[in-house]
Structure 1
Amino acid sequence: MKYTALIRTYNSFPLVAEVISALRAQAVPPEKIIAVDSNSCVEQRLALNAICDQVIDYPSEPFNYSKAINIGIEACETEYVLIISSHVLLTDPHLISYGINHISEGGDRCLGCCFNQGGDYEKTYGVTRVDKGNFSLLLGLSNSCAFLKKQYIVDRPFREDVFSAEDQEWAAYYLRNHDACFFSFHSVYVKYLNPHVNELKTMNEFISMAYFTHPELRRPKYIVPRLARAMLAFLRLRPERAKFHFTMAKELFMTNFRKPVRQTSSYYESAKTEPVALSETRPNRLATFEQ
């Protein structure tokens, strides 16, 4: 099964070099590696050209996750595409093979699969078939590392008005309207090493999901605990954390009445947290929401 690896980058060295090396070391390596680059410095751009088969410049405009993917998809010529972030490292050379084997058994309406960090070392991976019946915050598609049939993206591109969690909205469309499915893998051999995880990114993801894909996030079950956390943070003299929780609760509530208008949290946003350690497990979106 031939596929192209599509990577979104912005000054991503040295990690992106490891990511690409791991892709080429897969038992089923990509036919081609394409990077959509968001204005990296000259030195890093030259280095990227040396290790990728093609580098596409993102337009000189505010960054948008969906647009970056759609631009890259236009250059892909294979039947499948692996959308992978420049901070996701596949340390088992057989992971893509496992995904391909399950996709082959998924039927004509199988979108593909995604790979997430998690699990334990006693099992190489865990896998769940996801359809409209079990699609949720805990079981969603992740464009951090998603192996997808290109034609599905060509037929229905990622929506550029979905400012975050565009992967969830895209998957929800096919699962709920076309009875599609995909496979979700969890493995300790998938390393999520994003140094740009910050409060803005977290807030954008949940506001987007509340409006576009998971309306349950607008309900008191999720909003009231967030207000309680805001009050607790205030009492503990943590005003910035209190402001974050209160703003999240307010924005989630307002999605009941209007479409949110927010800018994509891009590579240009300065991280408010320390870089993720190599041994740290990426929290799932629900766990992040409950922090």
Structure 2
Amino acid sequence: MSVAKSDYKRVTTKSLIDMKAKGEKISMLTAYDYTMAKIVDTAGVDVILVGDSASNVMAGHETTLPITLDQMIYHASSVVRAAERALVVVDLPFGSYQSDSKEALRSAIRVMKESGGHAVKLEGGKEIKESIKKILQAGIPVMGHLGLTPQSIYKFGTYTVRAKEEAEAEKLIEDAQLLEKLGCFALVLEKIPAKLAQRVAESISIPVIGIGAGGGVDGQVLVLHDMVGMTHEFSPRFLRRYMNLFEDMTKAIGQYAADVKSKDFPNANEQY
């Protein structure tokens, strides 16, 4: 089975399904603004997720719940302007799709029309089936999200690993198969046992992208700010930090402030 990276000029939902069929792992990262999205896209990441995690890392909220549809559209439109290769998936925020399927469709249409995003992502399984069906019937691609679903944090009461018990694990498998049957093009599994995640990935034909779900799935996603070390308080087991930008940037900014105070900046070569 080939694992060579394919040269996709533009990654599409079909590209991801092809990647799974060929055994090529899918790379996915979040981005919320033009500059960071440009870097992520240029680096060759397959999927950019405009996550409702913007509520945490961009706005400083404790949970993802406060972010609005208007704010998600703003972030998504900034990312879309930067992405030349990556597929851009946009989270529908809490309250924009759970209550009824017509509102879900209106929310998804707004995201697609106003941001130019390529797909939307929704959290949940059987309980949001009608919303997913309605959005798909309008021709809008849907990515699912099961396991730890942060929009339901007050229901769970904790960010601990999900589906460790047999009943919840079986429901997760059923929900994953339902999402495939409905027509979702891919699925995110968050913070579940690795063996269960692999079992799900092997039981469905659509790509399964994990975060804290082990290596037996079809791809991985991380929050960009965590991965490059801009955040430093958050250290779950699944996070690999590739840089320590918090430390580097703090040092650089501190040096700048000191140079201004000491009149070292600007020097003779840095003025007109």
Structure with the higher fraction of residues in helix conformation? 2
TM-score with structure 1 length normalisation? 0.23
Structure with the higher fraction of residues in strand conformation? 1
Larger radius of gyration: 2
TM-score with structure 2 length normalisation? 0.24
